[in-house]
Every structure is written in structure tokens, then in C-alpha cells.
Structure 1
Amino acid sequence: MIPFTDEELMNPVRNVIDKVRPSLALDSGDISFITVKNSKVYIQLKGACVGCASSGTTLKYGVERQLKMDIHPEITVINVPVGMENDIDNL
């Protein structure tokens, strides 16, 4: 169990997202932070990351790994498809 509220996770998660963003930009990709809900981090991969065959690996071993190392090992990341930003409860 993660010992932080969703609200307490918001700024640390934003900081980690900003930390990994330059790596994605090297391949013309980007990432947007959407929210934290029930200790799950909702993000959206953008740019060249959309539809890229390596996007799952980027999500798991780049973004999620960094969040687990910097914040808490039980954090999970969910990529929100374009157009689903307002419907994360159904993901």
C-alpha cells in the first residue's frame, strides 16, 4: 500500500515526468501528466510515441521505473489514449 494520498503524489509525479521528458524528446516524443487516482498515475504519450512499437517499453521501463525508484515501488502508470482524457474511470 502506498503511504501517500493522491494529492500528495501530484507534485512528485510531475517532477519525475519532467525528468523523463527530455529522453522522450530525443526521439520526437513527449509525455503529459493527467492525474493520480487511487495511486495510479495517468499519463499520455504524445508525438512520435503515439503508435510507436516501443511505447509500451518506454512506459514500463522508462516512466514507471523512474516513478518507482523516485517515489514508491508500488506505483503503476496507465497511458491514456488520445480522446479518453476525461474518461479515465473506464480505463
Structure 2
Amino acid sequence: MKAMKEKVQEVLNKVRPFLQRDGGDVELVDVDASGLVKVRLKGACGG
């Protein structure tokens, strides 16, 4: 069974090309034990 962090990363990898097309990106910062996901938006998405 995959860890939650790996599952989230897989989903982010699917949406990443759409963000990059608009000059942005997303970075997985953390997934805590309760399932809270923290990401960092970069580039055009950062504002």
C-alpha cells in the first residue's frame, strides 16, 4: 500500500503540466499524520 505522501505526489504530477503551461508549478511541502496536505505554489501561481 502506498503512503499518503506518495499518493498526493502522483496527483500533483498529473496536474503539474497544466500549471507549468501557465508559467507556474506546485511543490509538495508536507503531508501530516492527520492527512493535512501542504503545497507551495510557484511562479505565476504563487500570487
TM-score bracket for the superposition, by shorter chain length: 0.7 to 0.9
| Superposed displacement of residue 49, structure 1 | 0.6
For normalisation by structure 2, the TM-score amounts to 0.85
Question: Which residue of 29, 39, 42 maps to 1:43?
Answer: 39
Structure 1, unpaired ranges of 5+: 1-6, 52-91
One-letter amino acid matched to 1:10: K
Structure 2, unpaired ranges of 5+: none
Percent pairwise identity: 40
For normalisation by structure 1, the TM-score amounts to 0.47
In the aligned structure 2, how far is the partner of 1:25 from the partner of 1:8? 26
Higher strand share: 2
One-letter amino acid matched to 1:13: V
Please give the per-residue CA displacement for 1:37-62, whole angstroms capped at 9, x wherever unaligned.
121111000011111xxxxxxxxxxx
Q: Considering Cα pairs closer than 8 Å and 6+ residues apart, tell me whether 1 or 2 has the greater RCO.
A: 2
Alignment of 1:15 onto 2:10: yes
Displacement over 4 Å in runs of 4+: none
In the aligned structure 2, how far is the partner of 1:28 from the partner of 1:36? 25
Q: CA RMSD in A?
A: 1.4
In structure 2, the residue matched to 1:26 is: 21
